[in-house]
Amino acid sequence: MLSMHILDMSLNDAFFSPSLGKILIIPVLFISLGRAFSYKNGWEGCALNNQFQYLAIPGATTVGITCSDGVVLASEKRVSYGNFVMSRAGKKVFRISEHIGAACAGLVSDMQILAREVGVYASLFKMESGRPMSVKAAAKVMSNLLFNSRLLPFITETIIGGVDDEGPALYVLDIMGSTIPDKYAAVGSGAEIAIGVLEESYKDGMTVKEGRELAIKAIKSAISRDAMSGDGIDLLVITKNGISEESIKF
């Protein structure tokens, strides 16, 4: 049985998000396989001594790119916690509606819950109003869900992208619900590598075909240096005609 314990962190324990341009304070995940964590005894060989140590953190590399005719969202497939690979077939890209998708880095369970909830709100909005939810509105719904859970936060960084009446749009959200529009973004443990590739090669007016190739290039570069990412790539290519999914295995 897998038991997880989220503890508070000091200000020295943080991650840098290149896409958001700021420091994010993210709780460390302490994972015990088969038994609960004991604050009194701790794990064998792990004495906290009032200084929290990284026992396990979720890893991922996820990117989003806006193009002239759509949006590309992509993430690698490895699900890892610290130096342990939980799965080689994890899916971190999700459909929200017919023209909106999300890609995440963090806890897979939190990603799935958030994507499912925003998808339900998008469906209810379409039923009540007779028109599809905009990308900005979907990002705002997710922002509200994240902020409302700030005391026990969803451990995930999220990229929401899609195509609506205003054209392609992309938003990046941190675990507190901060929402920032951008042309391209990278989140996760491999973001520092992926964002360098995106900044070097991204250009305004690129097509979704070019955006797809750039997303694959960025994630492959991150995989080559980030041990917590790997095992393939899942992509969502979103255009005015709908969403196409693709999976590439390594």
Residue/partner pairs of 10-17 with CB below 8 Å, 24 or more apart? 10/52, 13/52, 13/54, 16/192, 17/157, 17/174, 17/187, 17/191
SS3 213: helix
Distance CA 141, CA 208 (A): 26
Active site residue 207: no
Using DSSP's 3-state secondary structure scheme, residue 122 falls into helix
- Spatial distance between the Cα atoms of 106 and 202, rounded to a whole number of angstroms: 25
What does the block give as tokens for 22?
A: 């700021």
Pick from 246, 196, 238: nearest CA to 217: 196
Reported for 85-92, long-range contacts at CB under 8 A and 24+ positions apart, including other chains, are 88/230, 88/231, 88/232, 89/231, 89/232, 91/234, 92/60, 92/62, 92/234
Do 102 and 94 meet the contact criterion of CB atoms below 8 Å apart? yes
Which of 61, 62, 179, 239 is labelled catalytic? 61
CA distance 211 to 70: 9
Catalytic positions, please?
Answer: 61
